[in-house]
Structure 1
Amino acid sequence: MVVPPWLSVPPPGYGGLEQVVHGLVDALVEHGHAVTLFGAGRHHGTAGDFVSTVEDLQYARLGEALPELAHLARVNDLITADDFDLVHDHTTIGPLVAGRRAVPTVATVHGNPVGEYGAVLGDTDRGVGLVAISHAQRRWNPTLPWLGTVHNAMDVREFPQKPAPGRGPVLWLARFSPDKGPDLAIRACRAAGLPLTLAGKCNEPAEQRYFTEVVEPLLGEDVEVVFNADRPATLRLLMDARCLIMPIQWEEPFGMVMLEAMATGTPVVALRRGAVPELVVDGVTGLIRDRAEELPAALRAVVRLDPAECVAHVARHFSTDRMAQGYEAVYRLLVAGATTPAREPTSITAR
């Protein structure tokens, strides 16, 4: 299992990819597999073995190509056919260098597979099997060598669950970016007469600039801002929240924060973009709307939903055991020699 060199597994705060890999490694080990995690830094918290390619996490260099390339070069040197059956790669550049490995590679695509990233994926070695994290993501670039579709997942046992709807403010939880719509969250909550907490990742220059130029002028006494919350603080916010608001302005490939919210019993109010309809059951675990103008009414109505239904939905459809089973099916296809896209994708569906 290969992760980027930026964050530890699991991450202390922000890091959806790393959180998913944590759950996947532990579930695969429970299923009897011998799993080695290749990453960076000195520590990890998984049930698998750990090999670090560089002593310090490379988060300060996030966005640069060389740290990830150097990490992958070291990983490739360590992988032999005597020790491993296959590689599961979660990095951005990994599919381009996987052809140098002594064993086949499954690569999970965590981003939007269009534009520059789509060009990189389109040049993938044909022996690499790509895995989509949602059906919506796969539809945006259907010509890629997809081998399967497996939804991300989490273990609801790791989350506290509230017995009744939250009485606190509406919660927006994301990185400060126009794609995530914090400005729309402010306007929707203000129109609904509800307080809002903006809990955002804001440590990269683009995020800081966006917050200063766009978000800060909209703030008032009805909006609380929390920067770069760690895991315990995030869970407290989710437990207290009336709901999670997702006014996304792009085709979100997945959206782990929606699973995290529902796992605590917090329903989701979201715009119908990307994978939202695959994760949220409209009218049961959240309310999905087509236009931003419809969000205020949804924010007022969402308290009628049952927190227990939210938790049960995640446990039933997005468990780490279910995710591991999906990837096991993909692994079998790859080691059996399926190096071209499967006619029917291996699929773990939301419902």
Structure 2
Amino acid sequence: MDIRSEDRLDIAVIGPSRFPIREPYAGGLEVVVAKEVRALRGRGHRVSLFAAAGSEGHDRRFEFTTMAAATGFGDSFYPPGGYEADAAEFDRLMDHLAGSTFDVILNHSLSHVPLVRAADMPASVITTLHCPPLGAMQEAFDRLGSATGQVLAVSRSVLSAWQIPHGAEVLPNGVDISIWSPRPAPTGPHRAVWMGRIVPEKGPHLAVEAARRAGLQLDIAGRVGDRDYMNRVLAPRLRAAGEAVRFHGPLGRDALVPLVAGASVALVTPCWEEPFGLTSVEALACGTPVVVLARGGTREILSGQPGVVLVKPGPDPASALAAGIPAALTMDRTATARAAAAAFSHDARIDSLEARLRGLPVGAAL
């Protein structure tokens, strides 16, 4: 029997363990989880969030503390013994979920434990892939196959990088257009904006150089996720740029949205195969044209999208970005925002997710 359309579901959402789900959000993954939880609760579902210590609206009895308390290890590294301690906390959570009455478990973590324990659960487990392959997770897929549960990916680009023996589907991210929406057109000298995690793979140093070559001032907003990269690569460029570049650090939406909506152009500078490119979509929803390096998910989701200048990375990406800026400055901001709202609606994403949940076998609670 399937879950009936009129039923409100008991849903467990497993978030990432490294950073809390709260503003200012640490990165796109935390944003996606927060939006999903908020939207599902808004539709009447009973949603329990299991996330890092310091999150908002989560179950504190099973919060993840190992990485939330760690400092100085950046976005990609664990302190000594950290991975094992982190996995133990996930095992403790899965022990709880194994005895629960949830109808479905939505797993957004970067841990292999929910995959390994999926077959123990009384409810269906749906894991969403947000990033390139992680060794322990891929090993779980290789070893256990369909016993790991259902799998979604945020883009075809991400999915193609993994090997999922039992198959997976793509469910793209969306943007909350009630938050990311146009503001009055910017006035005064053209300014560019860059937002995201301050890490090598996001490449904010390329935005500094591209803005310099194009003669634009630049705002940068984001959390420092790699202190070494910040000190060695980005900070010297910020000092050299002087007042032409303003570094804001991490910003909550109340400050970030006006900054992005008030910019003449957004620069998106991935130095890896970007899994999705949520910052691109958020800027477009504000009507702010985007000049973006076409890598991974950005190439996939933004091809043909109004308000976008896709740039081939090439040997000199900063020059290529700078060369794309003049065209972006002439683009229709109203049409850009309208097209983004139509193509990347978060409501449409939740509609699609709910349709998947309705087709699942009834969980223990029903």
Shorter-normalised TM range: 0.7 to 0.9
**1:117, CA displacement in angstroms?**
5.3
Q: Distance in 1 between matches of 2:342 and 2:257?
A: 21
Matching of residues 232-247 of structure 1 within 5 Å: 232-247=254-269
Matching of residues 51-90 of structure 1 within 5 Å: 51-54=59-62, 58-61=67-70, 63=78, 64-80=82-98, 83-90=101-108
**1:22, CA displacement in angstroms?**
2.4
Q: Distance in 1 between matches of 2:345 and 2:39?
A: 9
Q: Distance in 1 between matches of 2:305 and 2:173?
A: 22
Query: Against the structure 1 CA distance between its residues 313 and 121, is the aligned structure 2 distance closer, same or farther, given a 3 Å change threshold?
Result: farther
Q: Distance in 1 between matches of 2:296 and 2:192?
A: 22
Cα RMSD after superposing both structures:
2.8
TM-score computed with the length of structure 2 as normaliser: 0.79
Q: Distance in 2 between matches of 1:41 and 1:131?
A: 26
Contact 2:195 2:222 in 1 (8 A): yes
**1:80, CA displacement in angstroms?**
5.0
- The one-letter code of the counterpart of 2:124 is P
Compare 220-229 and 116-125 and name the one that shifted more: 116-125
- The one-letter code of the counterpart of 2:289 is P
Residue equivalent to 1:297: 323
What secondary structure is seen at the aligned counterpart in 1 of 2:341?
A: helix
Contact 2:98 2:120 in 1 (8 A): no
Residue equivalent to 2:8: none
Query: Against the structure 1 CA distance between its residues 117 and 266, is the aligned structure 2 distance closer, same or farther, given a 3 Å change threshold?
Result: farther
What secondary structure is seen at the aligned counterpart in 2 of 1:137?
A: helix
Which one of 283, 288, 291 corresponds to residue 261 of structure 1? 283
Contact 1:99 1:125 in 2 (8 A): no
What secondary structure is seen at the aligned counterpart in 2 of 1:146?
A: coil
Residue equivalent to 1:343: none
Contact 1:171 1:196 in 2 (8 A): yes
Query: Against the structure 1 CA distance between its residues 116 and 313, is the aligned structure 2 distance closer, same or farther, given a 3 Å change threshold?
Result: farther
Task: Give the share of equivalent positions with the same residue, in percent.
Answer: 28
TM-score computed with the length of structure 1 as normaliser: 0.82
Contact 1:170 1:196 in 2 (8 A): yes
Residue equivalent to 1:35: 47
Q: How many residues align?
A: 330
What secondary structure is seen at the aligned counterpart in 2 of 1:12?
A: coil
**1:82, CA displacement in angstroms?**
6.3
- The one-letter code of the counterpart of 1:226 is H
Contact 1:248 1:271 in 2 (8 A): yes
Q: Distance in 2 between matches of 1:273 and 1:289?
A: 9
**1:42, CA displacement in angstroms?**
6.2
- The one-letter code of the counterpart of 1:96 is V
**1:19, CA displacement in angstroms?**
1.8
Q: Distance in 2 between matches of 1:79 and 1:239?
A: 42
- The one-letter code of the counterpart of 2:51 is G
**1:137, CA displacement in angstroms?**
1.3
- The one-letter code of the counterpart of 1:132 is A
Residue equivalent to 1:103: 123
Residue equivalent to 1:190: 212
- The one-letter code of the counterpart of 1:187 is E
Which one of 176, 188, 211 corresponds to residue 230 of structure 2? 211
Residue 322 of structure 1 pairs with residue 328 of structure 2: no
Contact 1:96 1:125 in 2 (8 A): no
Which one of 102, 117, 129 corresponds to residue 150 of structure 2? 129
Unaligned runs of 5+ in 2: 1-12
What secondary structure is seen at the aligned counterpart in 1 of 2:273?
A: coil
Q: Distance in 2 between matches of 1:302 and 1:95?
A: 43
Query: Against the structure 1 CA distance between its residues 329 and 216, is the aligned structure 2 distance closer, same or farther, given a 3 Å change threshold?
Result: same
Q: Distance in 2 between matches of 1:212 and 1:81?
A: 47
Q: Distance in 1 between matches of 2:210 and 2:27?
A: 27
Query: Against the structure 1 CA distance between its residues 65 and 330, is the aligned structure 2 distance closer, same or farther, given a 3 Å change threshold?
Result: farther
Q: Distance in 2 between matches of 1:216 and 1:287?
A: 27
Residue equivalent to 1:224: 246
Residue 180 of structure 1 pairs with residue 210 of structure 2: no
**1:112, CA displacement in angstroms?**
0.9
Q: Distance in 2 between matches of 1:35 and 1:143?
A: 27
**What is the CA deviation profile of residues 243-264 of structure 1, one whole-angstrom value per residue up to 9, with x for unaligned ones?**
1111211111112211221222
- The one-letter code of the counterpart of 1:176 is I
